[in-house]
């Protein structure tokens, strides 16, 4: 299944959730790919560590290839790197994404990533694909929304984050209406949760009253996450017995069960549906 962890608000733990949820999928035996679309490349550094200095291709090279006459779908596979952990792979990013963005927008290349990801999934057999995006509704985050089956919204229990959820929902609805009718918001991931504080509980109750799907378990706030960043090791492989590691494993399990239930109830869901606009975008 292809998912994007997306929120236009920064500081909600988007990259940490993407990498650690991917690690949880991988540890559960799922062949997992993480696609880094943020020019800061924090996700890439977290998963590859010092190897970032030696890689020869990034997602920027793929996007650059879509501007030429290269076979861009195969060029994406050149950017896939195994991590040090079984079943976990990544497509790294770099800061040249910023320079490429206006060129890509001008040539209407918004569908190319999704097409190439579909080819990679079929050829290489990935079970799970997660996209890490910049905290903005720009070309790269829209490319991810065009490529995925579902959206996961990270949420850190404050009023500003609550406002941001509505913006994400509007963006998803626009993409669904114009291009991907099966795109769904799979749920909201509660991050930095403090069980002893009243405000987080009140805000979560407000979201539930709005009939928004809240995923469980909640991800608690812990210094172990920063320790994991410093070590360059995702939590499920760093301290597997820590509560937060177990929470990520539990969240991955819940999402896998959700996918299994969805596939059983609607076997046609997930088949590729392309709009007329997408069919025209073949250059």
The Cα 130–Cα 273 span in angstroms is 20
Q: Is the pLDDT of residue 230 over 60?
A: yes
Among residues of the chain, what percentage have pLDDT more than 70? 89
CATH code of 157's domain: 3.40.50.300
Q: How many Å is the Cα radius of gyration of the chain?
A: 18
Which pTM value belongs to this model? 0.88
Cβ within 8 Å of residue 169, ≥6 positions away: 185
The Cα 98–Cα 47 span in angstroms is 21
Chain mean position to CA 148: 9
**φ/ψ bin of 197: left (φ > 0), alpha (ψ from -120 to 50), beta (otherwise):** beta
The answer to whether residues 248 and 240 touch, using CB atoms and an 8 Å cutoff, is no
The answer to whether residues 135 and 5 touch, using CB atoms and an 8 Å cutoff, is no
Mean pLDDT computed over 123-150: 96
Quote the pLDDT of residue 261: 55
Backbone angles phi, psi at 273, to 5 degrees: -120, 125
Among residues of the chain, what percentage have pLDDT more than 90? 71
Structural domain count of the chain: 1
Q: Is the bond preceding residue 217 a cis peptide, omega within 30 degrees?
A: yes
Q: Is the pLDDT of residue 172 over 50?
A: yes
The Cα 215–Cα 237 span in angstroms is 23
Q: Is the pLDDT of residue 271 over 60?
A: no
Residue 95 is given by DSSP the state: T
Band (121; pLDDT cuts 50, 70, 90): very high
Q: Which two tokens stand for residue 216?
A: 């469980």
Backbone angles phi, psi at 88, to 5 degrees: -115, 120
Q: Residue 221, exposed/middle/buried by CB under 10 A (0-12, 13-18, 19+)?
A: middle
The answer to whether residues 120 and 33 touch, using CB atoms and an 8 Å cutoff, is yes
Q: Is the pLDDT of residue 279 over 90?
A: no
Q: Which two tokens stand for residue 67?
A: 């501007």
Cα(first)–Cα(last) distance of the chain, in Å? 26
Q: Look up the domain containing 160 and give its range.
A: 2-280
The Cα 103–Cα 112 span in angstroms is 14
Q: What are the tens digits of pLDDT across the range 150-163?
A: 999 999 887 777 78
Among residues 231, 233, 228, 229, the alpha carbon closest in space to that of 85 is found at: 233
| Strand, helix or coil for residue 155 | strand
């Amino acid at each position: 299944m292809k998912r994007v962890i997306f929120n236009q608000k920064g500081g909600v733990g988007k990259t940490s959730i993407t990498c650690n949820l991917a690690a949880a999928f991988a540890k559960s035996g799922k062949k997992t790919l993480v696609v880094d679309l943020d020019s800061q490349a924090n996700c890439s550094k977290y998963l590859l560590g010092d190897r970032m200095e030696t890689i020869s291709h990034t997602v920027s090279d793929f996007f650059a290839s879509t501007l030429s006459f290269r076979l861009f779908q195969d060029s994406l596979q050149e950017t896939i790197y195994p991590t040090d952990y079984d079943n976990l792979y990544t497509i790294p990013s770099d800061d040249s994404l910023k320079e490429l963005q206006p060129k890509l927008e001008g040539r209407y290349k918004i569908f190319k990533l999704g097409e190439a990801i579909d080819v990679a999934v079929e050829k290489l057999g990935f079970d799970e694909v997660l996209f890490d995006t910049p905290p903005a509704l720009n070309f790269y985050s829209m490319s991810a929304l065009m490529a995925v089956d579902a959206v996961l919204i990270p949420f850190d229990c404050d009023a500003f984050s609550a406002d941001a959820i509505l913006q994400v929902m509007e963006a998803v609805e626009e993409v669904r209406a114009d291009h991907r009718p099966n795109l769904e918001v799979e749920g909201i991931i509660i991050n930095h949760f403090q069980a002893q504080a009243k405000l987080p509980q009140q805000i979560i109750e407000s979201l539930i009253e709005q009939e928004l799907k809240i995923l469980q378990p909640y991800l608690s706030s812990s210094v172990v996450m920063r320790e994991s960043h410093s070590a360059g090791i995702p939590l499920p492989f760093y301290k597997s017995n820590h509560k937060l590691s177990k929470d990520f494993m539990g969240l991955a399990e819940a999402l896998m069960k959700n996918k299994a239930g969805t596939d059983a109830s609607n076997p046609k869901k997930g088949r590729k549906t392309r709009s007329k606009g997408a069919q025209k975008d073949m250059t």
